[in-house]
Amino acid sequence: MSASQDNWGVDRSDDDTWDIVSSVGYTALLVAGWRALHAAGDHPLVRDDYAKHFIAASADPFLNGALADPDPSEGAAAFPRLYGVQTRFFDEFFSSAAGLGIRQAVIVAAGLDSRAYRLRWPTGTTVFEIDQPKVLEFKVRVLAEHAAEPAAERRDVAADLRDDWSIPLREAGFDTEVPTAWSVEGILPYLTGDAQDTLFSRITALSAPGSRLGIGALGSCLDGDRLTALEGDYPGLNLSGGVNFSTLTYDDATKAKPAQWLADHGWTVDPVRTNPELQGDYGRIPHQVDIDLDEIMHSEYVTATR
């Protein structure tokens, strides 16, 4: 049995930790698996060619099986496509920030995000990656084994986002005087409402004027019955490797809506888009399964300027 299957069902605690095959850490591997599947499919919107290396190195049977023998069904492409769209959103976010002259980036809850290696960063850019230590160690080790080189000055910030991560971030050389491009991808469901507010407050306090913030938010208050029904309509849709998200995420109905929080705290927020709307922007017609899925996931892609 894989470690990913061993560790489910644990309740969260305020100071829990994980590696790449346990608890919240496995979600980083899972979404890397979706990126790898999307890259291997027909007409990908974006290619993360490092993602497959993480899956191989993990030896996780579910994700390695899914990659070795991809399910050709309509449902099985949906989560990989959702993440392909999201990956493109953040790739374009960073490239547009670079176009604005921003040379400092922070990838919050970086997981197995390979943008520090994959994107064409302008000379002089520093990319800080924040996540739990074992997650970052795994990423750096696997990429080094494949002789991958960062394409910017990359700095690890091994920290828990529920603690004051601004201290290790500054110690790693973060400059509060220059504008920053921040990505917040795939983390909000794993934080309580209070922890989410604190995260946004810290980002705001550290953001010099002109900073940009990109957020990809999928709902944590998912309607389990509707998802089960959709899985019935689209066999293969459930590509979660046995993850029971309800044991990992905080289903807090009072959580602030990210765009509203930012607007209330001095950010100028661009129009919010959903995952199917982004597909339209990328010249694709969303499949019906994507539209149905989004009615459950309630995706929101937010960009804002400080």
Ligand X SMILES: C[S@@+](CC[C@H](N)C(=O)[O-])C[C@H]1O[C@@H](n2cnc3c(N)ncnc32)[C@H](O)[C@@H]1O
Residues that bind ligand X (CB under 6 A): 24-25, 27-28, 31, 109-113, 131-132, 135, 160-162, 185-187, 190
Task: Report which secondary-structure segment, H or E, holds 155.
Answer: strand 153-158
Q: Say if residue 266 is exposed, middle or buried (CB neighbours under 10 Å; 0-12, 13-18, 19+).
A: exposed
> Measured from the CB of residue 199, what is the shortest distance to ligand X in angstroms?
9
Please report how close the Cβ of residue 191 comes to ligand X at its closest, in angstroms: 7
| Cβ distance to ligand X smaller for residue 125 or 196 | 196
- CA–CA separation, 2 and 184 (whole Å): 29
Closer to ligand X by Cβ: residue 102 or 106: 106
Residue identified by tokens 């309580």 is 192
Q: Looking at beta carbons, which residue is closest to ligand X?
A: 111
Q: Which residues contact 131 (CB under 8 A, 6 or more apart)?
A: 28, 109, 110, 111, 158, 159
Give the full edge-to-edge strand order of the sheet including 104-108: 153-158, 126-131, 104-108, 181-185, 212-217, 300-305, 268-269
Q: Cβ closer to ligand X: 8 or 263?
A: 8
Strand partners, 184: 108, 215
Compute the least distance from the CB of residue 209 to ligand X, in Å: 26
Among 185, 249, 190, 260, residue whose Cα is nearest residue 222: 249
- Residue closer to ligand X by CB (options 162, 265) is 162
Nearer to ligand X, 41 or 210 (CB): 41
In the complex, least distance from residue 288 CB atom to ligand X, rounded to whole angstroms: 25
| Length in residues, the chain | 306
Least gap, CB of 123 to ligand X (angstroms): 25
Residue 270 CB, nearest approach to ligand X (Å): 20
The residue (of 162 and 202) whose beta carbon lies closer to ligand X is: 162
